[in-house]
Amino acid sequence: MSMNIAVIGLGGTGSAALRFLADAGHKVTGYERFEIGHKRGSSHGNSRIIRYAYPDPLYTNLMTAAFPLWESLCEKTGRDLMVKCGGITFAPGGHPELDATIAALSSAGVAHTVMSSADAMQRFPAFRFSDDEVVVFHADAGFLRSGEIVEAQVELARDTGAEIRAGVEVVDVGETQAGVVVKTACGDVSSYDKVIIAGGAYLPMLFPQIGLPLTVTRQQITYVGLEDAAKHLCAPDRMPVWIDASTYWYGFPTDGRLDGVKIARHQMGDVVDPVMDDRSVRGSDDDAAVRVAEKRIGGTTGSVVHSEVCLYTNTPNEDFIFDTAPGWNNVLLVSGCSGHGFKFTVLLGKVAADWATSGEFCHGLADDRFRLRLPSV
């Protein structure tokens, strides 16, 4: 039976839910406050890491469901939206997060190799490691072309019959006996059977009465220049994506879109208002990224090729929110990807689409960790 469903927020998760619903033959409308592929959220840019390597087995296992969906998207579009260059995680030997990552990979049956720092530098000559560091590599890792993925999924949904309302701000959502009513800033009022809200940093504005446990922070990424002689060593066929488990700095090989290597840190930045923040880059953040690049990668120039700011929408424990709105049965809230969630967005979108038609959660997203925990009134 065909249903009438709205998806609010067309970033990574929303664009995925939209295309899955459209492909299943439902009448679906996608609302996006800004233009498609805008830079005022968390899904734009050239790359996001994709990996099985997590210290938390739940997320390692979720990736076993997400990976085939990404591969299917690449096949469907005929585009290299996922680049499998492999991935490494490293830290001093005995570091608890590194040990937990190795244990999770082993438990999930993901092939991986644990190397000494010397062996790792021989295999990946772009890197510099300390003598006491241990490196774990797994080949089924790499990066996703995030901005291109959002645009590709919206295009697929449109081609399959979805209505796209870009540049339209939703100001209110309410559930009635007749359905879920969506109101926009331009005065339009529409009713739907189900509504999926994947609004990221803008989600709390729709539900101020709930007190969602979400904090929005600014995060800066930096592309550091490379000497000509080092560029071939930092290409995806020679250099994997990487994560320093002891400091949470991480980085990418050259992505074929911008010169240089991308460096960032998975650490909560300053709390911001997503509407008011000016997204200006900070020289101090660039300087910190350059120092890390000089320590970890041979042949960097010390110059900054490009910088930009994105947003994290954080839950207190960095788990996602995947739950119906309190007291409502037909509105699903999906958010709080906390800076590590883009790799899961295709799965989040698929499960959100399945929920809209069945009312049930599936895969690991049925786990209680993803339910809202709000204080009792």
DSSP class per residue in 21-66 = HHHTT-EEEEEESS-TT-SSSSS-SS-EEE-S--SSHHHHHHHHHH
Alpha carbon distance 300, 321 (integer Å): 39
Q: What is the mean pLDDT of the chain?
A: 95
CB atoms within 10 A of CB 2: 11
Alpha carbon distance 205, 41 (integer Å): 14
Residues of the chain with pLDDT under 50: 376-377
Burial of 191 (0-12, 13-18, 19+ CB in 10 A): middle
Query: DSSP of 298-362, one letter per residue?
Result: TTEEEEEEEEEEEEEEE-TTSPPEEEEPTT-SSEEEEE--TTT-GGGHHHHHHHHHHHHHHS---
Q: Which two tokens stand for residue 118?
A: 């010397």
- Contact 85/143 with Cβ under 8 angstroms? yes
Closest CA to 318 of 161, 243, 213: 213
Alpha carbon distance 61, 52 (integer Å): 8
- Which letter, b or e, does each residue of 26-41 get, where b requires 16 or more Cβ atoms within 10 Å of its Cβ? bbbbbbbbeebbbebb
Alpha carbon distance 235, 254 (integer Å): 5
Place of tokens 């300053």: 270
- Torsions phi, psi for 65 (to 5 deg): -90, -30
pLDDT for the residue numbered 375: 56
Closest CA to 49 of 241, 201, 335, 189: 241
Alpha carbon distance 294, 132 (integer Å): 19
- Domains of the chain (ranges; CATH) run 4-43+147-210+320-370 (3.50.50.60), 72-144+215-314 (3.30.9.10)
Alpha carbon distance 97, 271 (integer Å): 26
Q: What percent of the chain is helix, strand and coil (3-state, nearest 5)?
A: 30, 30, 40
Strands annotated E in 69-208:
82-83, 87-92, 113-116, 133-138, 142-144, 163-166, 170-176, 179-184, 189-192, 194-197
- Contact 324/332 with Cβ under 8 angstroms? yes
